[in-house]
Each structure stands twice: as structure tokens, then as C-alpha cells.
Amino acid sequence: RDGETGEKNRRSARQAWRSQNSGSNPNSASSRRPTSNSGARGGIVRQPSTGEVNSVTRFPNQAQPPQPSYVADEQPPSAASCDDKRLNEKDLSVDMNILEQELVRIAPTIAELFQKISKTTSSNIPVSEEEIRKVKEENERLRKTNRALIEKLNNFQQKIIQLQLENKNLRENGEGAKEAKEELGRKARELQDMERRLEEQKNALEEKEMELNIQLMKIKEIEKDIIRQKRQITKLEILHEEGQQENERQQEEIAILKEDRYKQQEQIRQLELKQRQGDERLRRLEERLKQIEEAPVNKTKSIKSRDPKFRTTKRLLGQMYNSEIT
């Protein structure tokens, strides 16, 4: 709407300027009529009384009949309209050229983007955190580029729609030659074709955007799995440390038990040694006692009955045996 308002203001300014100059040069307006390919020069004359529009065609070598003064006064709007149409056609052509150049410029970028997206989406799922980080950064960069291209294509589509509307207005309201209308029709078809190509590229970019989003979701799932695995590994490490501590404690207890067992075995060896020594002494004592008992009975009977030393010796031998055992 701002463009239409500015265009109307420019048209009004041109009409006012031409109206001011028409008083000094009545034929100046007739010299600015659109030129067709056949060499004919046409103009539009509006009758002030009836309001009808007559098309007047003049050839360059034909003598111009005198025109009433009101013709010159009413011709400048028609000439201004022709100039406006030429300016609009020129602007339309320039805008279309700019759009085509811009499309040609971003086409390699779109192709490269598609290749990178295909490469990243078709590659195997990374396993290391560094590879995941790189793929995630590449994914984010491609998504930003994709969104920028989609935004640019949206702007192109809006520009094409605006140009189509201007082209349609020129075709409907234009009063120029047939060639001009055919040119406008051709530009309209070019705009439609350009809009179709832009729509195809936009759809392709949106599909790639979906692929990138799916890949990003997979990367997030992998990151969640890695976090869960890290937690499980941490729990296993804690359990491993606790197991090591318990094992160390058990080893210490085993060492203490081994030491106690060694002490007990040492005590047992000492006791066995003492027992063997006592048994050996007892055996010697028994042999001595047996020797004494095997002596002649009659000879020793009176001695034993009379000698208190014999009884004392026997008692001492029993005490010694008991002390050796203990």
C-alpha cells in the first residue's frame, strides 16, 4: 500500500508539472506518447464535454492538424500515464533481474546445504562426546543457514506476489500498445515460473529442516543415553570402591586370623615339645622305678620299710612328673 501511495503521489506530481508546462507549449504533451514497434505514435484524447476516450494514431511523417486548446490541456495525464507505465515496466524488469540474480547467487548455497545435510544425516551415529558435539554444532549451523534461506525465499515470494499484482494492474489498466501487454504477460508468466521454483526450493528446504530436526532429536537422545550411562558408571564405581574397601577389611581380618593361627600353632608346638620332654622323663623314671622294683624282694623289703628316703624319693618322682606335665 505504501508503494501504491508513493506511485500515486509521483503521478500527481508529474501531472501537475505537465499541466504547468502545457500552457507555454501546447504540443509538448503530444511528443511524449508511447512508441510501438511499427513506428506509429499513439495518444489518448479525452473530450471534456462527453468524457469519452478516443485513441488517436499518428505517423511520424504525417502533418499534424491543429488541435483545440482543450486537447493540450487534457493530454498530459495520458502522457504521464504512459511514462508511469514505462517506469513501472522498467522497475518490474529491474526487480525481476535482481530476483533472478539473487536466486542464481544462492543456488550454490542451497545445493551445498543439501549435500551437507545429506552427509550428516546419512552418516553413522557418533559414539564419542567430541563427535557428538561436532555433529550438534554442524547441525545447528545448518539449521540456521536453512532458516535464513527459507526467510530469504519467503521475502522473494512476497516480492514476486507484489510484482505480480503490479503486473496485473498494468495489464488491466494499461492503455498502451499490444506489444506492451504481451511483454507484461510474458513477465507475468516468468513471475509465475519463478514463484513455482521458489516454492519448490522452499519445500525442499523445509524437508531438510525436518531432517535436521530429526537428527537433532537423535543427538539429544544419544546425549540422554550418555548421561544415563555416566550415572550408571558412577554408581558402579561407587560400588567398586565399596567392594574394594570391604575386601581390604576382610584381608586385614584374614591377616589377623593368620597371625592368631600362627601364634596358636607356635603354642601348640611348644606344648607338644613339653609333652614329649615330659614323656621322655616319665619313661626314664619308669625304667628306673622298674629297675628298683626288680631288685631282690627280701633284701629290699626291710630296707624299704626302714628307710624313709625311699618313700620320699617316690613322692618326689611323682611331683616331678606332675610339674613336667603342667
Q: What is the pLDDT of residues 130-170, one digit of tens each?
A: 777 777 777 777 778 777 777 877 887 787 788 778 777 77
**Beta-ladder partners of 54:** 45
The cell numbers describing 235, all together, are 554408581
Return the higher-pLDDT residue of 20 and 57: 20
Question: What 3-state DSSP class applies to 324?
Answer: helix
Is it the case that residue 217 has pLDDT exceeding 70? yes
| pLDDT tens track for 66-119 | 433 333 344 444 444 445 545 444 554 445 566 556 555 655 666 666 666 666
Question: Looking at residue 246, what is its pLDDT?
Answer: 92
15-29, 197-211, 242-256, 290-304: least confident range: 15-29
* Residue entry with cell 570391604: 246
Cβ atoms 168, 155 nearer than 8 A: no
Q: Which residue has better confidence, 311 or 215?
A: 215
Distance CA 98, CA 78 (A): 30
Per-residue model confidence as pLDDT tens digits over 249-276: 999 999 999 999 999 999 999 999 999 9
pLDDT for residue 216: 81
pLDDT greater than 60 at residue 35: no
- Beta carbons within 8 Å of 217's beta carbon, 6+ residues apart: none
Cα(147)–Cα(155) distance, integer angstroms: 12
Which cell is 183 given?
A: 511483454
Q: Which residue, 78, 65, 60, is CA-closest to 22?
A: 78
Task: For residues 77 and 53, give the distance between their C-alpha atoms in angstroms, rounded to a whole number.
Answer: 12
Q: Tell me which of 54-68, 104-118, 204-218, 288-302 is least confident.
A: 54-68
Residue 316, SS3? helix
Q: What is the rounded distance in angstroms from the CA atom of residue 262 to the CA atom of residue 254?
A: 12
Q: What is the pLDDT of residue 240?
A: 92
Of 71 and 321, the one with more pLDDT? 321
Query: CA distances (Å), 106 to each of 25, 116, 117, 151, 155, in order?
Result: 52, 15, 16, 12, 13
In the prediction, which pLDDT does 31 show?
39
Q: What is the DSSP string of 92-151?
A: HHHHHHHHHHHHHHHHHHHHHHHHHHHHHHHSPPP-SHHHHHHHHHHHHHHHHHHHHHHH
Residue with cell 549451523: 141
Q: How far is CA 232 from CA 86, 226, 228, in A?
A: 75, 10, 6
pLDDT above 90: residue 128: no
What average pLDDT does range 26-32 have in this prediction? 40
Percent of the chain surpassing pLDDT 70: 46
Per the DSSP assignment, residues forming a β-bridge with 46 are: 53
pLDDT at position 72: 36
Which of 32-46, 150-164, 294-308 has the highest average model confidence (pLDDT)? Answer: 150-164
What is the spatial distance between Cα 33 and Cα 176, in angstroms, rounded to a whole number? 9
pLDDT-wise least confident of 217-221, 264-268, 298-302, 306-310? 298-302
pLDDT-based confidence at residue 45 (cuts at 50, 70, 90):
very low
Q: Which of 211, 197, 203 is nearest to 116 (CA)?
A: 211
Average pLDDT of every residue of the chain: 66
Q: Read off the amino acid at residue 42.
A: G
Q: Do the beta carbons of residue 76 and residue 22 sit within 8 Å?
A: yes
> Distance between CA 91 and CA 314 in Å, rounded?
149
* 150 within 8 A of 208, measured Cβ to Cβ: no
What is the average per-residue pLDDT within 118-129? 58
- Residue 235 pLDDT greater than 90, yes or no: yes
φ/ψ of residue 55, rounded to 5: -95, 125
pLDDT at 97 (0 to 100): 60
Q: What are 86's three cell numbers? A: 514505462
Average pLDDT value for residue range 53-75: 38
Sort residue 293 into left (φ over 0), alpha (ψ -120 to 50) or beta. Answer: alpha
The better pLDDT of the pair 223, 123 is held by 223
- Per-residue model confidence (pLDDT) at position 78: 46
Question: CB–CB of 75/26 below 8 Å?
Answer: no
